[in-house]
Chains A and B, each alone.
Chain A
Amino acid sequence: MRMPAIERRLGFGLGLDMPWGSRIGFTQDSAGRDAPTQRVQRFLGSETRNASHVFVSWQPRDRSELLAQNYFDAFDGFFDCVSDGVVRALHQTALNLGTLECPDRTALIRLTNVLTERYRLAWVNEDLGLWSLGGRPLPYPMPPFLTDQGLRAAIRNCVEVQRSLVAPLVIEFPGFSDEMSLSLGQWHAYDFFRRTVEESGTMATLDVGHLLSYQWSRGLRGVALYGDLERLPLSSCFEIHMSGCAISGERFLDLHHGVLLDEQLELLDRLIPLCKNLHAVTYEDPKFDAEGRLFRKALPNVDRMRERTSQWSA
């Protein structure tokens, strides 16, 4: 088991997806250099003072060959805004850990390792899913093939990627709520994920919205949404993600819009005491205004999340 070299419980942290050209993302500054937008700079400047850790999601800047130096301006700008002492991590989005194929990840791994060393990234998180099919990106990552062959492939992928990365790989339970989230195969996704984690020797991230989306997709409702937790790799859980979700009619939506459901807090409460190696609880994809202030609608449950996390990490 390769554990990130973190000695203490980190507590509450932040994770930002940073698409290029979005208001919460990367842009070009007045000098034509890549940089986080002004609102991101303001947000990081104020909010990371109260955060133990922060991760940034890697997204391809363009369609050039993958070279780490093409990301230095943007990432320098991002991490310059993060308060001193805050632990840093990366969320990869292109490792395609759920694929049955054998993709050439050489350039992506090289880029990730250069970024890891330059920014002293403590771990690399990645969804156990399919980000592309046939080399063409998908609108939303699909779950892995929940078959015996899919399990063997997922383990192989995680072992290979883990071996190549200089930072520990932490794999994340994938989402099941999007229209792209086809479930193929008979394995219970919690068992599939646990077996992958155990047999690949990686640590795990439990995204609470993703867990709920899976149980929801199975037709479970109410307290049954919090069931089956013993089937998860609880002792290998290093990080928990909390990102904005919503329920609309009969649909569970993993919107990443910043507003947490009460159900997510309930599941967080249940998971924290079960995850003995938990080090980080991350509020993922916050949404904020031009001044870098969290949207008012998000505040009540973010405050509750922060309170629970503080109690746990104290």
Chain B
Amino acid sequence: MVGVSSLEAVLDELLRKRSLREDLGRRCFERMNLSPEDAGVLAAVDCATLERAAAALRREVRARCHRGSGKLEELYPSAIAAWRAQHPDDRDLDQLFERFVASEAFAAHGHGPGPTDGLRLCIEESFFHFCEAESLGSAEERLSELLAATMKALLVSPAPAFAVPACVRRAPRGFFGLATRAGSPILFAATGGRFVTGALTPFLAALLGSEDHAAVAREHGVGPGELASSLEALAGLGLVKTFFPA
């Protein structure tokens, strides 16, 4: 039947979205767009059992420790703190994770190829987009937390089966990304098998962001000697190609 959702896709949504479970409780199948046969299958489902399954899924998303990076709530402390400040009653963060699993951002993550062939997001990035949409924490801190989480994930999965976030760049010996803290550039990198983070000068940050190193040096009023030593230092970290002084 053309234009009808599959039972599997609807089950996935039912486990993630309370509003759809409420529809099912009222035996209202309109939004599910199912064939009459599949609607009949769902009509026989015990709603309390479905609710328990949905809760188990939320608990799993909250508790799952991702190899390399860890648990989401440990990776996004500022976003979690912002949520807690707004929702002091949500002590176990169940409401937060209920919103997260119901979000489009959550639906975009997964393993391997997605429905449109491109790789899916990692859950760390999907949580970042959720926090953006919910305005949790400051943009600066969110980006730092995303980069730290992604670099840790990439250290153990350097050939990832997930889409690398757009803010992450490939480097000769790994990956890096730049954020800012109080206006100053901060480096996050997974390079040479190590997680590297720390403040950068604006000049070094600009060097990492450009192919035309001479132009960056001119713009920052940096002479050839300092440019050479800077590139050598970055090459030593595996962030730019090995530097051969002229």
Contacts and interface: CB of A to CB of B under 8 A. Distances in A.
Contacts of A185: 41
A113 B49 CA distance: 38
Given A63-B162, A64-B159, A179-B52, A184 B120 contact: no
A84 interface: no
B156 A62 contact: yes
B11 interface: yes
B113 A104 contact: yes
B73 interface: no
Contacts of B153: 63
Contacts of A136: 12, 109-111
B103 to A, nearest CB: 13
Interface string A210-254: 000000000000000000000000000000000000000000000
A104 B15 contact: no
B202 to A, nearest CB: 34
A138 B160 contact: no
Contacts of B159: 64-65, 67
A182 B53 contact: yes
Given A63-B67, A63-B157, A184 B53 contact: no
Nearest to A185: B41
Interface in B117-146: 120, 122
Interface in A54-82: 60-67
B161 A100 contact: no
Interface in B39-75: 41-42, 44-45, 49-50, 52-53, 55-57, 59-60, 65-68
A22 to B, nearest CB: 11
B111 A147 contact: no
Nearest to B106: A136
Contact of B11 (A20, A67, A133): A133
Interface string A164-185: 0000000000000011111011
Contact of A65 (B6, B44, B52, B160): B160
A134 B153 CA distance: 22
B114 interface: yes
Contacts of B50: 182
A134 B107 contact: yes
A85 interface: no
Interface residues of A, number: 36
Main secondary structure of the interface of A (DSSP, over half): loop
Contacts of A138: 57, 60
Contact of B8 (A62, A133, A178, A181): A133
A149 interface: yes
Contact of A184 (B7, B107, B158): B7
B9 interface: yes
Given A107-B112, A134-B9, A65 B41 contact: no
A120 to B, nearest CB: 28
B57 to A, nearest CB: 6
Given A139-B60, A147-B41, A65 B55 contact: no
Interface string A132-166: 11111111100001010100000000000000000
A99 interface: yes
Contacts of B52: 179
Contact of B161 (A21, A63, A145): A63
Given A62-B67, A65-B159, A100-B6, A184 B12 contact: no
Contacts of A65: 159-161
B112 A104 contact: yes
A143 to B, nearest CB: 12
Nearest to A63: B157
A175 to B, nearest CB: 14
Nearest to A107: B112
Find the residue from A61, A67, A130, A133 having the highest chain B CB count within 10 A: A133
A21 B65 CA distance: 10
A62 B190 CA distance: 16
Interface in B89-120: 107, 109-114, 120
Given A180-B53, A184-B41, A134 B12 contact: yes
A307 interface: no
14 contacts: A20-B67, A21-B67, A63-B66, A64-B158, A67-B159, A135-B110, A135-B112, A135-B120, A147-B37, A147-B41, A149-B37, A180-B57, A185-B41, A186-B44
Interface of A: 20-21, 60-67, 99-101, 104, 107, 130, 132-140, 145, 147, 149, 178-182, 184-186
The 10 A-B pairs at the shortest CB distance, nearest first, are namely: A135-B110, A139-B60, A179-B56, A64-B157, A133-B12, A63-B157, A100-B8, A62-B157, A134-B12, A179-B52
Interface of B: 6-9, 11-12, 15, 37-38, 41-42, 44-45, 49-50, 52-53, 55-57, 59-60, 65-68, 107, 109-114, 120, 122, 153, 156-162
